[in-house]
Chains A and B, each alone.
Chain A
């Protein structure tokens, strides 16, 4: 009896609590909207002020609006007659305004000068409105559209449905109530909660009043017991669609685990410049940098390549490691003056000299590397030494010097977390060039660094590891001289280009850097499989046979003589060093004309209502020749599936900015884009579009089809590039003179 009564009581309370929470949410929401609105307003007014200030600086005349008609002759009059006879007719002069033509409709868009990759949308963000008549006659369209998104529409608020957040709050507030009435004998304590907060249960009862007062304000610190079953059963009664009591409990457990404030985020290393910097291994110190860096756009967390497309850090980077261990002391207190240090460095130098033997000629004296002493002599490896067994030497090295042999003053030096982390980070790159490391760390001398290095090696015995790494280097980097390789590749490459054109004429796949360590690029390599060249972003060796060798043109690279041009690629500034693609700054663009997309050297375009339909884009200056670069067609990069979904809507609007980039992606300039998006379609165009491979990315260039005069409207044939997206282009007017 009491049980039933109790249950009813709970149910009632759950409902009460639920509506209270809903109410609070509602208020919070409206408050948020208000604050956002006011902040936006202030933002706008700030912008306006800026604009006004800017305008006041400009010495320009305002367009005078005339204001009155005083200067206009009055030719007509307007008479108002009254049906009441006693009122006289009233006449006023009538001045008519000239008709101002309407501007075409323009939907808001965001200007970008680069492609912008966006994720697929899983919910329909808005139900497109196309006028009542469309909705009336074609209601099925909207339904179909919603079906595409699995019935999910943004901002759908379901009546009785409670989401995770409300659920959690509901349970917690109910639990509070429960605890408040905790002195009642009927109270049940849930033991399941022991797992989570068992430690606090004892202290709970004594502090609960204080806790309760606190928890009203700050809900993030709640030391409460696990809620009792009654609560869940009551909720389950009220919301039967949410599952059974057990389901709810499980869900609650999951949610509290996530929301537990005590669990520290595991990946976050403390700030290395901060006071709480810890001594962490190299991988952790560089973790977020390595994870976020995009090698292709040199940015962190770039918006152009999703993280799956970002190549990882290079393992094979012999070229960049051009620092050698010092052969001379960097100063009076250089570690080389210590006993045994010379031998240590000599040993390691031999090791590294094996690795760098091939490079000897190229590497100039590493004076900068070896510290302040400018007159560094090149190391002199003997050929016989390179043949000697490294294992032998390792044994020798074992008894060269040990940390304990060092003077006590060096042993006692305190290394804080940041410094030791930095050492680990730098040690891998600079190996045993302690002078350089000390310069980079800045707070420790090279003697101290040396000492720390010995200590580290002693404790971790990474000596073995570094030795093996060095061996790895050796094995990987045995390669024929550069020049020879290039020649060989050169002869091969033309044929390959031809092949490529033959078998993959219509299907172009998105390039993704391959990452198969230790294996040559064979059929298992994704670049080979998709018919792409390997790029500098790939992990394969730089003389991989699938790499594009670049061009060696002396001319402007705008004819088919240029292999880059032939392969529909822009010249790679790191590969093509003859044509001037690698020249930047003042002497840039002297010769190579095949780098304009990557450098963004577009023409000045102007927007005006089109002669054909809607808006049009006009060119400001003359274009002298054919095949001149006009602009890049930028927009959002979306997947083909997403393009299909969006295209349905655009199809209805009779206005599409979709542009097939390759088999995987589509450029959509509807939301983000640049001015060339306003170029209209024509069957007799003055421009054409070409998808080019630009440093590993496919990008769409718009080029001139013939000389274009200043002030001409630009057209290109949509059908060329969008073989089947043509159906989206609703309006195609013939522009032939009648």
Chain B
């Protein structure tokens, strides 16, 4: 029966197809955001950006304690310095003849695909150390001569689980023979060559490559037909295997027992060496085909200064195959942004690493080449800042008790500790929790459960499909941050990776985190838009300092008192039931938006934020409107109009709502406008106005009397001033006086001058004709006119 066979076959095919489709969907969903987070992490390692963030949930990572603050005195600083000096003197490296090198292990990043095969196939590799001398020829025309001699070879484990268990036989190099070359030529450079060979000689490069491919093909459940496509996928930086996704890239560590002084030298030399490995190709031709990786390390400079100090080293090895597929892998987006050199990082991430210990052996007499400590110190201080590649000292507090004890705690105290630096090579060091528990810093066992397994469930394709991956540590799969606690991990995921949705559910063994792509994430700035305005353009520039707009922000954090808020509790991370269906929770609170002026629809600048446009009860148009309304009356005479206008404008500005306020308001009104009323000769109209208030029952007769008395007092005063000045002919002073008076009542004149001054001008004519106290008045009038004119001019 062919049919069932066929169907079976087709079924199989279907399944395969399904799987492939499934995988593609998975990649489609998670590829981009993962890449982005990877990239951000990488970028952060090179040039970190520091943001204002509350990292309370990662407080285990905070290495400093404030315990000493209480007892701190200024003298302590001196003491610390003195102590440092003393200890420095004590631990001044001494250089001896014998250089002991103990190779600890050979580390290949399993994430790098071409290394996969190697790590799987091999348990050990052969490492060979040779000394390379660069001799300086006496003759000028002669080229620099390199000589190389093999010092020793050892078998080195690949990716050892427990490096401490592995007892290696050290290679001992005596530097006495180095001191002088055979010919007596002076040695210009003196360096150690490290080579790693595969033990089988017959496996060639090409085979390796193909097997590698096969391996990965199997891994990825892809038919051979699609190999081509698959290859493309692999080479494509966008193609991430699941393993890649969760493991992330590795980085190399350099342990230095000494303080950072020497690192710069070391690293610089390393850089030099690693960058030009091919130079030496021709010299080690005898076992070239099987030598896979090499690197070199210079021991002495031409000045016979030793570059190497005691300590533990990690050395990145270069692959010796001519075609390198790293180049394409390393193409990152950074290149767009000014084409910054990023190879530094990639070498650390993608190159295999050789770890070894280096120790200058004790001998009877100190090595002649050992540099005097003072000199060393001085030079290294100067060189320190430009150590681009210098790996900062690692905060060893976390894991390695052995090393921590070895290194003392000086590291933890001086120098900044980058969070990146404490990212550990996961496979190398088992999760740190055992040590942690010893520390007794645990707050809740559930948080710091040492064998915490976290299942990541990737949900995609509209939640219909999912893939699960388990991890047994508390590293963030995207940025390799050791969160050190489950709480911290989930909090970190939720806060720092907004492109995904995370939901946490505890399980019987371990916990599961559902990961899905956040469809709502739009990459937009989700802060206060005023910050955008406050820091236009290159606020987060990575190309050096950028001038920012000055802005002062007060960051006030007042945590809500919630139950258990002090103890970081996993319960808060659980998906809350929708019981608090308050309608506002849907909307964002706080001023996370740009506001606009209500009358002009222009954005409100930060400096205008506190001005309320509605504070003003008498807008311009309303004042004009009121004046116009009164002007429109034909049967209201020109003595009544100005007093009514003045009063209306006054009442509008100083709103008056009760009868009881009236006498005070009138008093204030007279205080403000008395001089104006006197100037325009409106006393009787004022009186009529007050009588009107009286008639309407909002003012008392006695109040009226006292108001008028008050007014007359002011009038008397002003007239006295004028007469006195008249006598002394100080008309300048007078005009000045009035002008200042005008200015003080700016708001008054602004509104009343256009209409009133016109009338005053016409009236000044009539007044001078009719009344015979005029000389005084007329003069006053002239002066006023002058004053107003000058005021207009100035306006």
Contacts and interface: CB of A to CB of B under 8 A. Distances in A.
A613 interface: no
A667 B698 CA distance: 29
A289 B640 CA distance: 8
B619 to A, nearest CB: 6
B468 interface: no
B770 interface: yes
Interface of A: 58-61, 63-64, 66, 71, 73, 75, 103, 106, 110-114, 265, 267-275, 285-286, 288-290, 292-293, 295, 297-303, 311, 313-314, 316-317, 319-323, 366, 368-369, 418, 422, 425-426, 429-430, 436, 439-440, 442, 536, 572-574, 582, 584, 598-600, 602, 604-609, 611, 618, 620, 631, 674-675, 678, 684, 686, 695, 709-713, 735-737
Contact of A273 (B586, B603, B639, B712): B639
B597 interface: yes
A425 B692 CA distance: 10
B583 A684 contact: yes
A599 B657 contact: yes
B691 A573 contact: no
B637 A270 contact: yes
Given A66-B536, A299-B648, A303-B626, A275 B770 contact: yes
B595 A301 contact: no
A273 B684 contact: yes
A391 B599 CA distance: 69
Interface string B760-782: 00010011011100000000000
A288 B766 contact: no
Contact of B701 (A113, A274, A369, A442): A369
A608 B688 contact: no
Contacts of B685: 271-273
Contacts of A274: 637-639, 763, 766
B445 interface: no
Contacts of B695: 286, 290, 313-314, 317, 429
Contacts of B702: 322-323, 366, 368-369
A293 B692 contact: yes
B593 A618 contact: yes
B647 A299 contact: yes
17 contacts: A113-B614, A268-B635, A272-B688, A288-B636, A298-B693, A298-B698, A314-B696, A317-B695, A439-B708, A536-B659, A573-B657, A584-B658, A608-B593, A618-B591, A675-B598, A711-B592, A712-B587
Given A314-B697, A320-B700, A711 B598 contact: no
Contact of B589 (A106, A275, A710): A710
A160 to B, nearest CB: 32
Nearest to B533: A63
Contacts of B696: 293, 295, 311, 313-314
Given A285-B688, A286-B691, A286-B695, A265 B635 contact: yes
A275 B769 CA distance: 9
Nearest to B625: A303
Contacts, number: 259
Interface stretch (B63-71, B233-241, B605-613): B605-613
Contacts of B652: 299
B662 interface: yes
Contact of B637 (A271, A301, A710): A271
Contacts of A275: 766-767, 769-771
Contacts of A61: 534, 549-550
A111 B658 CA distance: 25
Nearest to A425: B691
Given A439-B708, A536-B659, A574-B658, A608 B614 contact: no
Contacts of A289: 640, 644, 688-689, 691-692
A265 to B, nearest CB: 5
Contact of A735 (B586, B599, B636, B659): B586
Which 5 pairs between the two chains have the least Cβ-Cβ distance?
A271-B639, A573-B658, A314-B697, A267-B635, A275-B770
Contact of B648 (A113, A288, A300, A618): A300
B544 interface: no
B479 to A, nearest CB: 25
A620 B609 CA distance: 9
Contact of B705 (A111, A269, A436): A436
A24 to B, nearest CB: 26
A600 B659 contact: no
Contact of B699 (A320, A536, A584): A320
B90 interface: no
Nearest to A64: B536
A265 B633 CA distance: 11
A71 B549 contact: no
Given A293-B696, A422-B687, A440-B705, A607 B635 contact: no
B697 A288 contact: no
B657 A611 contact: no
B405 interface: no
A285 B534 CA distance: 62
Interface centre among A297, A302, A440, A618 (most CB of B within 10 A): A440
Contacts of A290: 692, 695
Contacts of B699: 320
A429 B604 CA distance: 55
A256 B206 CA distance: 117
B579 interface: no
Given A63-B536, A111-B619, A430-B701, A710 B590 contact: yes
Contacts of B701: 320-323, 369, 429-430
A736 B586 CA distance: 8
Given A293-B692, A323-B702, A366-B702, A273 B683 contact: yes
Which of B612, B658, B660 has the most CB atoms of chain A within a 10 A radius of its CB? B658
Given A323-B701, A573-B658, A288 B583 contact: no
A680 B346 CA distance: 55
Nearest to B587: A611
B336 A75 contact: yes
Contact of B659 (A292, A418, A574, A710): A574
B584 interface: yes
Contacts of A311: 696
B107 to A, nearest CB: 36
A369 B707 CA distance: 12
B706 interface: yes
Given A319-B697, A429-B691, A709 B589 contact: yes
Nearest to B611: A604
Contacts of A71: 537-538
Contacts of B682: 273
Contacts of A319: 697, 700
Given A319-B697, A600-B617, A607 B598 contact: yes
B660 A573 contact: yes
Given A272-B685, A273-B683, A111 B613 contact: yes
A112 B626 CA distance: 13
Contacts of B171: none
A600 B653 CA distance: 12
Nearest to A113: B617
Contact of A73 (B338, B608, B626, B639): B338
A58 B609 CA distance: 13
Contacts of B693: 293, 298
Nearest to B770: A275
Interface string B376-413: 00000000000000000000000000000000000000
Contacts of B596: 103, 607-608
B698 A295 contact: yes
Contacts of A631: 614
Interface in B744-795: 763, 766-767, 769-771
A368 B583 CA distance: 64
A271 B640 contact: yes
A81 B401 CA distance: 69
A547 to B, nearest CB: 15
A318 B38 CA distance: 88
A285 B640 CA distance: 10
